[in-house]
Structure 1
Amino acid sequence: MTTTREPQPATASAAEAPDSQTVSTGRLTRITQHPLFVVTTALIVLFVGFTVVNGPTFIGVPNIRNMLLAGSIILLLAIGITYVIVTAGFDLSVGSVLVFSGVLSVVAMRAVGAEGWPAALLGLVVALAAGAALGAINGALVAYADLNAIIVTLGTLGAALGLAQVVTGGQDLNDVPPVMADFGVDRVLGVPLVVVVAALVALIAGIVLRSTAFGRHTYAIGSNKEAAVRAGIPVKRHLTTVYLISGLLAGLAGWLSLAVYGTTNIAGHSLDALSGATAALLGGASLFGGIGTVAGTVIGNAIPVVLASGLVIAGLQSFWQQAVTGVVLIGAVYLDRIRRLRRTVRRPKR
C-alpha cells in the first residue's frame, strides 16, 4: 500500500522572513528618528537659514568665536545636568552655583593679592570646591533625605544666589588677575582656550558615561532605581556623586566665566539652568531617566546658542533670547514625550 505524503507548510521563519527592502526601510526609519539625527538636522537647518538671512556677519570668524565661547560655559553646566537627568533627577541650581563659585573665587584671589598664576589657580581650586560642596549637599538631600530633586535644587538656587549677594553686597566683583584674563582670550590654532577646556571635559564625560561602570550604574539607576538597589549598586552614594559632579562642573564654569568676562555678573545667569536642561533634552535625554548622551547634549547645546546669535544679528532685542529659550525648552520636553510614547507603543510584529 502506497502512502501519499501531504505537502508540509512553509516554516514560520521562511514565511515571515522580511525582504532586504523592508529591513533597509526599517533601518532608515530608526536612523531618521534617532535624537542625534533629528537635532543635528535641526542645527544644520538653523545655521543655513541664519546664514542666508544675516549673511557674512553670522558666519564671520568673530561671531563664530563668540558663539563658541558662550556655548562652552553653558555646555559645562549642560553636561552636569545630563548626568543628573539620566538618573531621573534634575538640577535647577547650576546657574546660582556658577555665580557663588565665581564670587568665592574672586574673594580668595583678592585675599592673596589677585596677581599671577598662583592666585588664579587658588581661585580655580576655591571655585571647584565651592561647586562640589553645593552639589554634594544637593545629592545628599536627594539621595539620603529622599527629597524631590526639583525642590532641593530650587532651594539651593535661591540660597547660593542670596549668599553670593551677601558676600558682594549685591555688586559685581571685577578683581581678576591679568593672567586669568589673558587665559580667557588666548587661543590654540585660532580656537579659544576656554573652548578647548570645554571640549576636553565633554570628551572625558562622554567616555565615562558611555564606557565605564560608573556610567552603566548611572543609566541603571535612572532606568529602575529599585532594580539597581537589588543589583548591589550603592544608589545613594552614586546619586550624591552625580550631583557633586554637576556642582563641580558649575564651579569650573564659574571660574571660566570670570576668565572670559572679567566679572562675576551676578544677574546674568538666571537662565543658565534652563539653557543647560534644554541642551540635554534636545540631545535626547529623557526626564524619566535612563536615557541621554554627552554627544547629544553637545549638539543640543548649539541650537539655543545659534538661535540667540542669529536673532540678535537679525535685529531683534537680546531680551528675545529669554523667550526663545523658554519656547525651545517646551519643545524639547514635548519631543521627549513623543519619544517616550513611541517606545511605549512600539511592539514587535507577530
Structure 2
Amino acid sequence: MSVSSPPKDIQEAPDAGFGKRPLGKRLAGANTFWIALVLVALIVVFSAIAPGEFPTLFTFQTLLIETSVLLVLSVGMTFVIITSGIDLSVGSVLIFAGMVAGKVMEAMSGGNASGAGWGVILVGLVAAVVAGTAWGLLNGFLIAVAGIPPLIVTLGTMGASLGAAYLLNNGSDVRSIPVVLNQTLGYGTSFGVVPNLVIVAVVITLIGAWLLHTTKFGRYTFAVGSNAEGARRAGIGVTRHLLKVYTLTGFLAGVAGFLSLAYYASTTISAHTTDNLNAIAAVVMGGTSLFGGVGSVLGTVIGVFIPAVLKKGFNITHVQDFWQMIAVGAVLVAAVWFDQRRRRRRNSR
C-alpha cells in the first residue's frame, strides 16, 4: 500500500512563511534580539555615566567571573524550562555538591590546604559531580516516573539537599580548600587576561548550546516542551527524556558547586540560597518560555548578564542595590508579558 505525500501547500508552508519574511521582521519577533538590545543599552548608559570606571578591562573581568557559576546553573535550567518544567533545587544542590567535594578533599589532605595536589582536586571534582547528578536523577525519577509535579518535587529536594549540606559539617562551611585549586581555577588566568573560571563556564555553555540546538537530544527537549503527548505519539520516550534532562541539570549544579568552591576557597553555604531563583530569572529574561517549547542558550547568556551589569553599574555609580531589585523585576515581568503576547498572537492566527 502506497503512502501519499502531504499536500503541496502543507509541504511549502514552513518555507513560505519563514523564508519570505524580511530579516528585520524576523529579528523584531525574536525575544533574544530585544533582550540583547536591553543589555547593550545598559552597557552604553553605564559607560556614559562612568566612562572612567565602567568600561574597563577590570570591570568586565570581574563581571565574567561573578557570572560564571550562575551561567553554568542557568544552562541546565534552560533545558528544564524548555520542557515546561522547573527546578527549584539547583541552588541547594550546588551547596550540597560543594560541601561533599570540600569534605572529601579535606579528608584526603588531612586538612592541609597548602599540601593538597591535583589528585585530591580531581577526586573532589568527581565527588561534586556525582553528588549533583544523584539529586538530579532523584528529581527526574520523581517527576518523570512517579508523576509528581516538578514544582513540588524540586521544592522538596531544595530543602532536603540544603539540610543534608548542613548536616555534613554541622552547619559550618568547609574552608580547608586546596590552595592550588583557588589559585589556578578560582583566580588564575590564561593568555594574561582571560580568567580560567570563565573559560570553563564558556566551554560548558558552548557544549550546552551544541546539545540543545544541533542534536537529537535538543530536538526532543523542544518537542516535549511543545506538546508532551504529541511527542509521545511520535515515538519519543518522554519519561526517559525528562529523566535525562533533570539528571543533566543536577550534573551541571554539581559542576557549579565545584567552581564556586574554587572561587571562594570555601563552601559559602549562605551565598547561594537564591541561586535557583536567579537562574530561573536569567533563563526567562533570556526569552525561554515558561510554557515550554521555546528557548535558547544564547538568550540565557544575555539573561544572566543583565542583572550582573545592573549590579555592577549601580555599585560604580553609587546607586542603592534596592533599585537593582526593582529593575530586574521589571525586566523579568516584561519578558514574561512579551512571551505571553507572542503566544496569543501566534494562537490567534
Q: TM-score under structure 2 normalisation?
A: 0.88
Q: Residue 196 of structure 2 aligns with which residue?
A: 193
* Separation of aligned partners in 1, 2:125 and 2:194: 22
Task: State the partner residue of 2:5.
Answer: none
Does residue 1:98 correspond to 2:94, yes or no? yes
Post-superposition Cα deviations, 1:146-201, rounded to whole Å, max 9, x if no partner, equal: 11111111111111111111222222221110110112111112111111111111
Aligned to 1:262: 265
Give the total of aligned pairs: 324
Aligned to 1:162: 163
Over residues 37-88 of structure 1, what are the superposed CA-to-partner deviations in whole Å (9 max), with x where a residue is unaligned? 1011111000011112233211222221111011111111110000001111
Shift in Å, 1:251: 0.7
Deviation at 1:33, TM superposition (A): 2.5
Letter in 2 for 1:39: I
What residue in structure 1 maps to residue 64 of structure 2?
Answer: 68
Distance 2:104 2:323 in 1: 36
Pairwise CA distance, 1:324:
4.5
After superposition, the Cα gap between the structure-2 partners of 1:28 and 1:322, relative to the gap in structure 1 and judged at 3 Å, is closer
Shift in alpha-carbon separation, 1:208–1:278, aligned structure 2, 3 A: same
TM-score (norm 1): 0.88
Q: Once the two structures are superposed, what CA deviation does each residue of 1:190-233 show, in whole Å capped at 9, x if it has no partner? A: 11111111111111111111111111111111111111111221
What are structure 2's unaligned runs of at least 5 residues? 1-18
1:138 counterpart letter in structure 2: N
Q: CA deviation at 1:342?
A: 2.6
How many Å apart are 1:320 and its aligned residue?
Answer: 5.2
- Residue range with higher mean Cα deviation, 89-98 or 329-338: 329-338
> After the TM superposition, which residues 271-310 of structure 1 pair with which residues of structure 2 at under 5 Å, given as runs?
271-310=274-313
Which residue does 1:19 correspond to in 2? none
| SS, match of residue 279 in structure 2 | helix
The answer to whether the 8 Å contact 1:304/1:328 transfers is: no
Aligned counterpart for 1:48 among listed residues 35, 44, 51 = 44
- Secondary structure in structure 1 of the residue aligned to 2:54: helix
Post-superposition Cα deviations, 1:104-156, rounded to whole Å, max 9, x if no partner, equal: 10000011015011111111101100110001111111101111111111111
TM alignment of 1:142-157, pairs within 5 A: 142-157=143-158
Measured in 2, the distance between the counterparts of 1:147 and 1:141 equals 6
Equivalent pairs: percent with the same residue?
A: 44
Q: Supply the RMSD in Å over aligned alpha carbons.
A: 1.7
State the partner residue of 2:341: 338
Aligned in 2, Cα 1:124/1:195: closer, same or farther, shift over 3 Å?
same
Counterpart Cα distance in 1 of 2:258 and 2:323: 27
Provide the residue aligned with 2:74 in structure 1.
78
SS at match of 1:59: coil
Offset from partner CA, 1:274-302 (integer Å, 9 cap, x none): 22112211222111111111111112211
- Is contact 1:81–1:277 with CA below 8 Å preserved after alignment? yes
Cα distance in 2, alignment partners of residues 102 and 323 from structure 1? 31
1:41 partner letter = L
Q: Partners in 1 of 2:223 and 2:144 — Cα distance?
A: 15
Q: CA deviation at 1:339?
A: 2.4
Instruction: Quote the Cα distance in structure 1 between the aligned partners of 2:271 and 2:325.
Output: 12
* Structure 2 CA distance for partners of 1:320 and 1:208, relative to 1, 3 Å: same
Is 1:274–1:329's contact at 8 Å kept on the other side of the alignment?
no
Who is 1:141 aligned against? 142
- Cα displacement (A) at 1:325: 4.2
**d(CA) in 2 for partners of 1:127, 1:334:** 37
1:213 matched residue in structure 2: 216
Question: Whose Rg is larger?
Answer: 1
Deviates more, 1:197-206 or 1:312-321: 312-321
Farther-moved stretch of structure 1 (336-345 vs 207-216): 336-345
1:58 aligns to 2:54 (yes or no) = yes
